[in-house]
Amino acid sequence: MAGFISIAKGKGVSIGTSGFDYVVERTRRCFRPDEQAIQGEIYGPLDDEGMSLIEVDTQGEAGFNAFCRATELAYAEAVRDDPGNVPNSVWQELLRALQSDPRWRGSSSQGYEPCSQ
């Protein structure tokens, strides 16, 4: 079974279950404290309904870019700390899908504290 990251209506990234769990949990840790409400909205289907799904498609530009920043930070930390866990191609597919969305405002992961453990 796979998990799905819904990015826009009819568009998203499907990831095998173990890869999905790893990617979404690493990304979850990278939201800033002031973004917890956004994170809760995105992760609602996973946390509240037990679905292998997170929804970025319902977010406006600010929430979407908060997720993008968290994903970029999570990817950078995963490559540095745990490079063999999830294939680089999984992260790259997700990042390409995010970057192709009209809400994308460019890389915003520079200058932030490391993700929480």
Mean pLDDT (the chain, rounded): 90
Q: Residue 3: beta bridge partners?
A: 15
What are the extents of the domains in the chain?
A: 2-99
Rounded to two decimals, the pTM is: 0.90
Q: Reduced to 3 states, what is the DSSP secondary structure of residue 44?
A: helix
Quick one: pLDDT band at residue 11, thresholds 50, 70, 90?
A: very high
Each residue of 14-33: pLDDT tens digit? 999 889 999 999 999 999 99
Q: Residue 16: beta bridge partners?
A: 2
Buried b (16+ CB within 10 A) or exposed e, 55-84: bbbebeeebbbbbbbbbbbbbeebeeeeee
Q: Which two tokens stand for residue 46?
A: 């996973």
Q: Which two tokens stand for residue 54?
A: 């997170």
